[in-house]
Amino acid sequence: MSTGSAHTEIAIHRSGAQRMGFFTDTTVCIGCKACEVACKQWNDLPADGSVPGKGASYDYTGDLSASTWRHVRFVELLEPSPQLREEAQRALESGGGNKFPAIPASGAIDLVDAAQAGDGAADVAEAVSKMGDWVFMSDVCKHCTNAGCLDACPTGALIRTEHQTVVLQPDVCNGCGYCVPACPFGVVDRDPQDGRAGKCTLCYDRLEDGLEPACAKSCPTDSIQFGPHEELVEIASRRVARLHERGIEGAYLYGAGDEPDEQLAGGLGAFFLLTEPPELYGLPAQADSPVQENVVPATLAAVGAGLLASAGAVIAFVAAGRLSRRRPVRESW
C-alpha cells in the first residue's frame, strides 16, 4: 500500500516529482560496508576510527550517528535459522553433498574444509546451518511519512523535499536537539563538535543531478535498491513472495505494504526486507512521530476545552442578563 506526505508539508515543489526511496533486502547483504564508505566519502563525513586488538569488531561504526548516515549491523543469531535448517535438509535429501547451496556463501569455507576432510563427503546440513549464524542489515534514516524529527524542529532546518525525503539543513540548525528524541528509530544525532544535528539526506544533491545515492550505487549485491517508492514496494512484495515459495516463511517487509492502522510512522520511505523479528536488528516493532501519536488526543482536548469555554461564556452572559433585569430602575428627576 503506497503512502504519501501532505502536499502542504512539502517545502520544495517540482513538476513531475515523485516519491523516491530505498528498499534494503537483508537476505543478500554480505556485510561488506561498501555503502558506509561510499556515504562517508560523498558526504565528506569523518571516519569513526577502528581499534584493532582483542575484542575489537569489524562493525567499528557501531550505530547511526551524526557522522555515520549508513550503518551495517552485524547481528549474531543465538541459534541457526529454522528456514536455513530446512533448506539444508532439502539440499541433503536431494543429493546436494559436495555442492554449494544456492544461498549466501558466508560459511563456504566450512563446506570446503568438510569436503576435503575424510572421504570427501560434505555435511551440507551442518554447513548451511552455520551460514545462518549471522545476518546483516544496512540501516539508514527511514524518511518517514510522519517524520518525528521534522515535526519537532523549531527552526525549519528539517524540510521535506519534492521527492518526499526529509533533509536536514545544517546551516539552519541551531543545535537545540529536539529532533533527536523525536525520532522513534534513533536515527538523528548531534555532532559532538558543533552541536548541530546530522542524518541521511538520501543524497539530495545527487538526486538533483539525476544520480542515484552513493550507498545504492556502491552496493555490490543490490541489497540496497533505489527508485520510485511505489515501484520499490512492488519489487519488494514480489521478492517476499519468491522467498516464501523457497520455504523462507519468515521473510516480511518492515515499513511498507501495511494497512493504514498498522503503518510504521505513516509508512517508511526507506523500508526493509527482514527474516527475523525487528528488535533483533535494533528496530522498534511499533513507531510513530510523538507529535502524530498525540495529535488526536490533543485535538480532542483542545476541542473539549473550547466547548467548555464557550459554554462558560454563554452561561455568564445569560446570568448577567438576568441580573440586570432584576435590578430596580432608578428614576431620574
Q: For 106-151, what is each residue's pLDDT tens digit?
A: 444 444 444 444 445 556 666 655 656 788 999 999 999 999 999 9
62 Ramachandran zone, left/alpha/beta (phi>0; psi -120 to 50): left
| pLDDT band, very low/low/confident/very high, at 82 (cuts 50, 70, 90) | low
The predicted pLDDT at position 110 comes to 47
Q: What's the pLDDT at 202?
A: 96
Can you tell me which residue has the cell 550517528?
65
Question: pLDDT > 90: what percent of the chain?
Answer: 53
Q: Are residues 33 and 159 in the same domain?
A: yes
Q: How far apart are CA 227 and CA 301, in angstroms?
A: 41
Tell whether 269 and 318 lie within a shared domain: no
Q: What is the mean pLDDT of the chain?
A: 81
- Of 273, 288, 303, the last residue of a domain is 288
pTM to 2 decimal places: 0.72
Say if residue 86's pLDDT is above 90.
Answer: no
pLDDT at 234 over 70: yes
Residues 324 and 191 in one domain: no
Residue with the bigger pLDDT between 12 and 58: it is 12
Confidence of residue 224 (pLDDT cuts 50, 70, 90): very high
* Residue 71 lies inside a defined structural domain of this protein: yes
Q: Residue 314 is part of which domain span?
A: 291-333
What are 273-316's pLDDT values in tens digits? 999 999 999 999 988 888 776 544 444 444 565 667 666 666 66
Judge if 295 and 179 occupy the same domain. no
182: cell is: 523525536
Strand 20-25 and strand 270-274: the pairing is parallel
Q: What is the CATH number of the domain that holds 166?
A: 3.30.70.20
Q: Are residues 65 and 189 in the same domain?
A: yes
pLDDT at 157 over 80: yes
The secondary element (H helix, E strand) that includes residue 133 is: none
In a domain, 202, yes or no: yes
In tens, the pLDDT along 20-34 reads 999 999 999 999 999
pLDDT over threshold 60, residue 324:
no
pLDDT of residue 212: 96
* Shared-domain flag, residues 141 and 164: yes
User: Does residue 327 form part of some domain?
Assistant: yes
Same domain, 185 and 301: no
Report the SS3 class of residue 270. Answer: strand
72's enclosing H/E stretch is strand 70-76
Are 277 and 231 within one domain? yes
Candidate from 147-151, 173-177, 244-248, 296-300 with smallest mean pLDDT? 296-300
Residues 174, 282, single domain; the answer is yes
The total number of structural domains that make up the chain: 2
Same domain, 149 and 248: yes
